[in-house]
DNA sequence: CCATGCAGTTAACAACTGTTCTCCAGAATT
DNA sequence: AATTCTGGAGAACAGTTGTTAACTGCATGG
């Protein structure tokens, strides 16, 4: 259904993406609240004023980056949580999946971890919203599991958000270990796996 | 053993503290990587050059803030974890303690949450170091508990760090709810309590 | 084919930044 | 009482920032 956009809009989206990419790279070594608009345009090679054709401000660009980083992650989350197999296998697959995602998109992960509690309110809000959506989706998947029979809605949401937070912390650990040795990364796998396992155990005995 | 410092050093520490206080206030609405040295001195009412008498840079000031925010917290952590009473009572007391601390020092908590993954490497490192110390201390207290018999050192540390991370996330939740209604804060208490309880359950069945 | 729209440019603005150097008042030391 | 030390002030620097205005070239729709 995508009739090819004119050569005009195509160019616009191209520079827009260039701005996003340049910003993401610059944000590896600083926070969004110190990212200058001129800094971004200089990195791309366009005039400072061109920035305004795409974003109102760097905060606005930040919100767009949140969408780029988390927007496409929802299907992945769903299938991961609802995967079948015995608990330990599911945990191993989830950890592996996080590890791979961090290795493939380190800058995105760093951006989210950094700006989740960062100094720019609209961006914080956008991240919170996306994470809340993740929470709801995970809860919806957990509800299907027979283990969840007898659970209250509040308890299910609590567990779902615990999982979401755990994913983020794990991602952050993998990020720190990215430039380290293979041993370090393996250690992160061990830690993350055991944390998930402990939570899983708590889940199975919740109603005792 | 504290022979009163001369009127000279006293004044110095006074302005130093004023700089730290002003910075902490400014950091409620931005990240450290965008905090300007002139901005801080202006807020205090001293010349920009006076800043250099106390800190090499704003990053240096940030490291000092980490010490101020977390340095005095170690005894509190220890006594909290090693408290006696039945599990649910201990959890309730811990949550209450976190809630009180956040209400008393919101700016400090915000600073730590923000800069833990922030854009200033030395500050990130300082926070990581302090949190690692917390982890070791919590582990040491957990080891005393009869529930921990049979646990490997690695597993104990894993659980300890899980608790530390949980404390931080809870603190962050309380922070968000600070300016909200009493109901919101009560809701955070519920969520945090149930998370801790689930972890506690997982802990008790770890060796099954 | 011509007129409109619009992504990107150029130039200029006032305001701000970190840092250096020189200086001073007054506490500390002798 | 004389000297040294030092926390802070003052002025100046080159460089940066966000934002405005008027422009140009070119794809687009009539």
Q: What is the pLDDT of residue A190?
A: 98
Contact B158 A32 (CB under 8 A): no
For residues A158 and B201, the answer to whether their CB atoms sit within 8 Å is no
Mean pLDDT confidence for B35-51: 98
On the question of pLDDT at B105 being above 80, the answer is: yes
Q: What is the pLDDT of residue A84?
A: 84
Q: Which of A169-173, B69-73, B74-78 has the lowest mean pLDDT?
A: B74-78
Nucleotide nearest to B12 (CA to C1'): D7
Q: What is the mean pLDDT of chain B?
A: 96
Mean pLDDT confidence for A123-143: 98
| CB neighbours of residue A52 within 10 Å | 11
Residues of chain A with CATH 1.10.357.10: 68-204
Q: What is the pLDDT of residue B3?
A: 60
Q: Which two tokens stand for residue A87?
A: 């608990």
Q: What is the pLDDT of residue A179?
A: 95
On the question of pLDDT at B79 being above 50, the answer is: yes
- pLDDT-based confidence at residue A3 (cuts at 50, 70, 90): low
Share of chain B above pLDDT 90, in %: 94
Q: What is the pLDDT of residue A83?
A: 81
* Domain B68-204 coded CATH 3.90.79.10: no
Q: What is the mean pLDDT of chain A?
A: 96
In 3D space, the residue among B171, B150, B152, B142 whose CA is nearest the CA of residue B69 turns out to be B171
- pLDDT-based confidence at residue B83 (cuts at 50, 70, 90): confident
On the question of pLDDT at A1 being above 60, the answer is: no
CB proximity A49–strand D (7 Å threshold): yes
Mean pLDDT confidence for A40-59: 98
Q: Tell me which chain B residues have a C-beta less than 8 angstroms from the C-beta of A201.
A: 201-202, 205-206, 208
CA A182: distance to chain centroid?
23
- pLDDT-based confidence at residue B107 (cuts at 50, 70, 90): very high
On the question of pLDDT at A30 being above 60, the answer is: yes
CA distance B184 to A176: 34
- CATH entry, A7-56, from 3.20.20.140, 3.40.190.10, 3.40.1260.20, 1.10.10.60: 1.10.10.60
CB proximity B46–strand D (7 Å threshold): yes
How confident is the model over B108-131, as pLDDT tens digits? 999 999 999 999 999 999 999 999
Mean pLDDT confidence for B160-189: 98
Q: Which two tokens stand for residue B4?
A: 């009163």
Give the nearest chain A residue to B162 (CA atoms). A195
> Which of A95, A119, A151, A204 would you mutate first to test chain B, the one with the most B CBs within 10 A?
A119
Residues of chain B with CATH 1.10.10.60: 7-56
Mean pLDDT confidence for A189-205: 98
Q: Which two tokens stand for residue B183?
A: 């109901």
Contact A30 B33 (CB under 8 A): yes
On the question of pLDDT at A10 being above 90, the answer is: yes
CA distance B130 to B4: 30
CA distance B192 to B172: 11
Contact A155 B203 (CB under 8 A): no
Mean pLDDT confidence for A11-33: 98
On the question of pLDDT at B1 being above 80, the answer is: no
| Interatomic CA–C1' length for residue B57 and nucleotide D12, angstroms | 21
CB proximity B147–strand C (7 Å threshold): no
For residues A83 and A76, the answer to whether their CB atoms sit within 8 Å is no
Q: What is the pLDDT of residue A164?
A: 98
∠ CA(A99), CA(A100), CA(A102), 5° rounding?
65
Closest residue, CA to C1' of C9: A47
Q: Which residues of B143-166 are buried (b: 16+ CB within 10 A; e: fewer)?
A: eeeeebeebeeebbbbbbbbbbbb
Share of chain B above pLDDT 70, in %: 99
Q: Which two tokens stand for residue B69?
A: 């925010």
Mean pLDDT confidence for B143-171: 97
Mean pLDDT confidence for B36-50: 98
Closest residue, CA to C1' of C21: B49
């Amino acid at each position: 259904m995508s009739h090819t956009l004119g050569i005009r809009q195509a160019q616009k989206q191209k520079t827009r993406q260039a701005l996003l990419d340049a910003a993401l790279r610059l944000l590896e070594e600083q926070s969004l609240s110190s990212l200058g608009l001129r800094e971004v345009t200089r990195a791309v090679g366009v005039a400072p004023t061109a920035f305004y054709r795409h974003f109102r401000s760097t905060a606005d660009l930040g919100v767009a980056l949140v969408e780029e980083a988390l927007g496409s992650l929802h299907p992945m989350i769903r299938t991961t949580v609802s995967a079948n197999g015995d608990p330990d296998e599911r945990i191993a697959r989830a950890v592996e999946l996080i590890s791979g995602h961090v290795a493939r998109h380190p800058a995105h992960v760093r951006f989210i971890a950094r700006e989740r509690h960062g100094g720019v309110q609209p961006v914080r809000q956008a991240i919170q919203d996306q994470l809340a959506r993740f929470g709801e989706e995970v809860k919806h998947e957990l509800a299907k599991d027979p283990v969840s029979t007898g659970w209250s809605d509040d308890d299910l949401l609590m567990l779902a958000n615990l999982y979401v937070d755990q994913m983020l912390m794990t991602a952050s650990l993998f990020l720190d270990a990215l430039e380290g040795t293979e041993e370090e990364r393996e250690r992160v796998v061990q830690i993350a796996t055991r944390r998930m396992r402990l939570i899983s155990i708590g889940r199975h005995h919740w109603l005792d």
